[in-house]
């Protein structure tokens, strides 16, 4: 059974109740496994499963998406293109027309209220009030009637239903008072309340829409990184073609100041490349022949020729966009509580409004007064802010994080990260440069052919490996101009090393622990290896399998360097009160020597940990016999870190680049982690934890204010202290304040 997912844009949602209704409508469809509707992005992420394990055809996918769109329409909303968020932002005043008309028509109705404060009598004739208020009620307010009617048909309620019922009640009351008044008598009507409430709600929705466009700036900015055309070298010369037509292997000419149209490898020229929008790195990166470039980055001063290596959805930029979209479409765990509250909120408000009407009427007040107080309850209780509180903060938080090179893949990681009390680091490539150098190669026996011959054998064996130590061996052979040959029957032994056939010899290259397990012949090389370990070097042994057993040929010593700024980044985390741990597969001497250079204490180091044991170690760090379990974040960068990244409460994958610009095993780590750090800067770990804390704080603030508006406003309206006009203003203000508070996250910076 294969699992598929898609995004659907949804127009017309106004509050948290709309979200719940759309989710129910889509969830009823067969084969739908999960659905998450986001009010702030006006979209739904739907996951479904095919009935069998066979690949789903494009036609079947289109049919399923058509059914999803039909379900959205049947629920009373407008299905939109999933790409509507990536469209160019509208002007600052886009959509203000209806609001402007409402303000113009409502202003004369409000003047008498101002006049009363000044001791003036500016009351308009009833006919004029009717002529001004009715277009606002039934033309500008038509959207509320339509959406409210669909909600009723679906057996639920939403903000539109509350607004339409409340304002219609005020308009009908005014009509009744006007038509039943004695001839020539001036009566107080409530046309202004209905018209002003609708206008204020429209104004609030317009301000909210403007704020939403700002929360999606990150997505639009990433989409804008892709140039429309690329300059391709063909047999007929240079030709500009749309980037949609690019193929892997095409040769592109990129001039100074242009953006790279796709991922590729520099074939000619050298330049400086600005990758700030992708990695958050402010300084340009030097690129020479053989270096990899990323689509969307900006070429510096050099003209370069690039061979395309990835296009379309396979590019790094497309993956980044997908990660950000996934995070913004996801629903944080705290949002589930809000959804449960919203599902019953509108029916409860309708009951409270009816109770308010009955209570005032039964205590001797007129139907007119009772109805006005009931309308105020309906208007102020609209749950708009509840639906926006969480997604608005998540969108703003993930957007600003992406701008600084921190990609948050799911909302759960964002919500949990601020609780982290323990941070465990993989050593090689995470805390260190990850490109160790071969410090020495010493032959065990003079009859083995000398150091140069042994280096050639070691380089041949390691030539196909992605391990950092293997790269160091190959680079050392390259520096001496040695030409190695491809090995045969190569087999990697996880956590130990590799073995294979080179020039007919069965060679092994790996750790001392592996040599002990293989019972390699003892000799003076063991003393030499121990001395090198005591000096902090990582030691490997080149050995040969013979008819007499396994014999050591040479001892290889490797050294690595701490990343620039790693120690200060660790100190910053320690100042936040976090427990720090370094996990390494190296021997204890090498691990503790590096820990000392990083400012870590001996008890914070776990050495000689096999890749398969990292996940178990993370789980042991999570346990706390004295009380609440520890919340552990694990930071790693390689394939062998994937299990530990998945086992941790929060996994942070560090997207290191190799010397040739490749990411090595980082892509696997990124899939297992909830957060990806787009460059190898240890300081980004503190940044990720900080943006999590600030985002969660904004969510809590927003939920507090959303509930506070209703908790305070409904009783005040029921007791008669708030008019419908003031209630409408407060309701509109609640949504705008929630969005504005979330947008403050955009000012975050490390």
Instruction: Decide if 295 contacts 315 (C-beta within 8 A).
Output: yes
Give the per-residue pLDDT at 691: 92
Residue 84: is its pLDDT beyond 70? Answer: no
Give the per-residue pLDDT at 51: 66
Residue 696: is its pLDDT beyond 60? Answer: yes
3-class secondary-structure state, position 263: strand
Active site annotation includes 426: yes
Give the per-residue pLDDT at 660: 44
- 501 and 584 together in one domain: no
Instruction: Decide if 260 contacts 316 (C-beta within 8 A).
Output: no
Give the 3-state secondary structure of 128-146: HHHHHHHHHHHHHCHHHHH
- 521 and 541 together in one domain: yes
Give the pLDDT mean for 515-527: 85
Cα(240)–Cα(156) distance, rounded to whole angstroms?
Answer: 54
Q: Is residue 606 part of a domain?
A: yes
Selected catalytic residue, list 426, 586, 649, 681: 426
Instruction: Provide the domain limits for residue 591.
Output: 411-433+562-673
Instruction: Decide if 350 contacts 164 (C-beta within 8 A).
Output: no
Cα(147)–Cα(136) distance, rounded to whole angstroms?
Answer: 16
Instruction: Decide if 663 contacts 656 (C-beta within 8 A).
Output: yes
Give the pLDDT mean for 545-551: 85
Residue 140: is its pLDDT beyond 90? Answer: yes
- 656 and 552 together in one domain: no
Q: Is residue 275 part of a domain?
A: yes
- 25 and 48 together in one domain: yes
Cα(120)–Cα(438) distance, rounded to whole angstroms?
Answer: 92
Of 668, 438, 393, nearest to 542 by C-alpha is: 438
Residue 627: is its pLDDT beyond 70? Answer: yes
Q: Is residue 174 part of a domain?
A: no
Q: Is residue 142 part of a domain?
A: no
Residue 279: is its pLDDT beyond 70? Answer: no
E strand or H helix at 651: strand 650-654
Instruction: Decide if 155 contacts 347 (C-beta within 8 A).
Output: no
**How many domains does the chain divide into?**
4
Listed in sequence order, the residues at least 6 apart from 505 whose beta carbon sits closer than 8 Å to its beta carbon are 457, 544
Give the strand pairing for 675-677 and 406-408. Answer: antiparallel
Residue with the two structure tokens 């040769």? 251
- 588 and 609 together in one domain: yes
- 518 and 667 together in one domain: no
Instruction: Decide if 293 contacts 273 (C-beta within 8 A).
Output: yes
CATH assignment at residue 635? 3.40.50.1000
- 587 and 549 together in one domain: no
Cα(376)–Cα(726) distance, rounded to whole angstroms?
Answer: 8
- Residue 137: band (very low, low, confident or very high) from pLDDT cuts 50, 70, 90: very high
**DSSP calls for 216-244:** THHHHHHHHTS-SEEEEEETTEEEEEEGG
Query: What distances in angstroms separate CA 750 from CA 6, 86, 747, one per listed residue?
Result: 34, 27, 10
- 571 and 422 together in one domain: yes
- 582 and 657 together in one domain: yes
Give the per-residue pLDDT at 661: 44
Q: Sign of the C-alpha dihedral, residues 416, 419, 424, 430?
A: positive
3-class secondary-structure state, position 626: coil
Q: Is residue 315 part of a domain?
A: no
Regarding pTM above 0.85, the answer is no
Point out which residues pair with 274 in neighbouring strands. 298
Query: What distances in angstroms separate CA 524 from CA 168, 219, 446, 515, one per listed residue?
Result: 96, 61, 13, 14
Cα(448)–Cα(554) distance, rounded to whole angstroms?
Answer: 9
Residue 228: is its pLDDT beyond 90? Answer: no
Q: Is residue 690 part of a domain?
A: no
Q: Please give the structure tokens belonging to residue 358.
A: 């009955």
E strand or H helix at 354: helix 333-362
């Amino acid at each position: 059974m294969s699992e598929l997912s898609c995004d659907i844009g949804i127009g017309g949602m106004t509050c948290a109740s709309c979200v719940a209704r759309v989710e129910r409508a889509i969830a009823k469809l067969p084969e739908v496994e999960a659905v998450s509707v986001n009010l702030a992005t006006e979209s739904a992420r739907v996951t479904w499963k095919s009935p069998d394990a066979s690949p789903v055809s494009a036609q079947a996918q289109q049919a399923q998406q058509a059914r999803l769109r039909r379900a959205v329409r049947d629920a009373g909303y407008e299905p939109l293109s999933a790409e509507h968020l990536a469209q160019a932002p509208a002007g600052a005043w886009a959509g203000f027309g209806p609001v402007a008309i409402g303000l113009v028509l409502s202003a004369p109705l409000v003047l008498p209220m101002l006049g009363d404060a000044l001791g003036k009598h500016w009351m308009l004739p009833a006919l004029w009030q009717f002529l001004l208020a009715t277009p606002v009620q039934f033309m500008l307010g038509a959207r509320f009637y339509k959406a409210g009617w669909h909600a009723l048909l679906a057996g639920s309620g939403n903000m539109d239903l509350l607004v339409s019922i409340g304002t219609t009640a005020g308009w009908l009351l005014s009509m009744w008072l006007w038509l039943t008044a004695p001839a020539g008598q001036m009566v107080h009507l409530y046309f202004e309340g209905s018209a002003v409430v609708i206008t204020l709600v429209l104004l609030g929705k317009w301000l909210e829409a403007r704020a939403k466009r700002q929360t999606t700036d990150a997505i639009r900015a990433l989409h804008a990184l892709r140039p429309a055309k690329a300059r391709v070298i063909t047999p007929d010369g240079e030709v500009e073609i749309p980037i949609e037509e690019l193929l892997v292997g095409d040769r592109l000419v990129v001039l100074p100041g242009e953006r790279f149209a796709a991922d590729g490898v520099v074939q000619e020229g050298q330049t400086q490349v600005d990758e700030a929008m992708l990695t958050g790195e402010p300084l340009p990166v030097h690129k020479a022949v053989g270096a990899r470039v990323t689509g969307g980055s900006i070429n510096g001063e050099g003209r370069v020729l690039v061979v395309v290596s990835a296009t379309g959805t396979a590019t790094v930029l497309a993956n980044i966009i997908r990660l950000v979209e996934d995070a913004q479409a996801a629903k944080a765990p705290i949002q589930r509580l809000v959804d449960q509250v919203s599902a019953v909120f509108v029916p409860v408000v309708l009951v409270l409004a009816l109770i308010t009407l009955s209570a005032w009427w039964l205590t001797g007040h007129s139907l007119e007064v009772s109805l006005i107080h009931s309308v105020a309850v309906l208007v102020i209780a609209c749950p708009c802010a509840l639906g926006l509180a969480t997604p608005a903060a998540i969108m703003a938080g993930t957007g600003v994080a992406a701008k600084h090179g921190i990609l948050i893949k799911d909302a759960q990681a964002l919500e949990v990260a601020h609780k982290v009390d323990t941070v465990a680091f993989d050593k090689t490539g995470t805390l260190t440069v990850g490109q160790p150098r071969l410090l020495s190669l010493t032959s065990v026996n003079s009859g083995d052919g000398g150091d140069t011959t042994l280096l050639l054998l070691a380089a041949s064996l390691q030539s196909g490996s992605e391990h950092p130590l293997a790269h160091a061996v190959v680079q050392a052979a390259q520096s001496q101009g040695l030409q190695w040959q491809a090995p045969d029957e190569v087999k990697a032994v996880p956590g130990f090393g590799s073995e294979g056939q080179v020039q007919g010899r069965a060679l092994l290259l790996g750790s001392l622990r592996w040599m002990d397990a293989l019972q390699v012949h003892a000799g003076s090389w063991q003393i030499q290896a121990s001395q090198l370990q005591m000096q902090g070097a990582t030691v490997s042994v080149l050995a040969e399998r013979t008819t007499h057993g396994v014999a050591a040929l040479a001892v290889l010593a490797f050294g690595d360097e701490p990343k620039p700024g790693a120690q200060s980044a660790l100190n910053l985390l320690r100042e936040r009160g976090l427990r720090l741990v370094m996990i390494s597969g190296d021997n204890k001497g090498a691990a503790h020597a590096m820990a000392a250079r990083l400012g870590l204490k001996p008890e914070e180091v776990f050495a000689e940990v096999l890749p398969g044991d990292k996940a178990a170690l993370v789980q042991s760090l999570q346990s706390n016999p004295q009380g609440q379990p520890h919340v552990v974040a694990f930071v790693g960068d390689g394939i062998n870190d994937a299990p530990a990244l998945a086992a941790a409460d929060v996994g942070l994958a560090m997207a290191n680049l190799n010397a040739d610009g490749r990411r090595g095993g980082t892509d696997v780590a990124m899939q297992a982690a909830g957060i990806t750090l787009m460059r190898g800067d240890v300081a980004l770990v503190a940044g990720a934890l900080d943006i999590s804390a600030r985002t969660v704080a904004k969510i809590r603030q927003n939920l507090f204010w959303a509930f506070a508006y209703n908790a305070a406003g409904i009783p005040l309206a029921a007791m008669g202290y708030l008019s419908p006009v003031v209630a409408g203003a407060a309701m509109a203000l609640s949504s705008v304040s929630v969005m504005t508070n979330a947008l403050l996250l955009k000012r975050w910076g490390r």
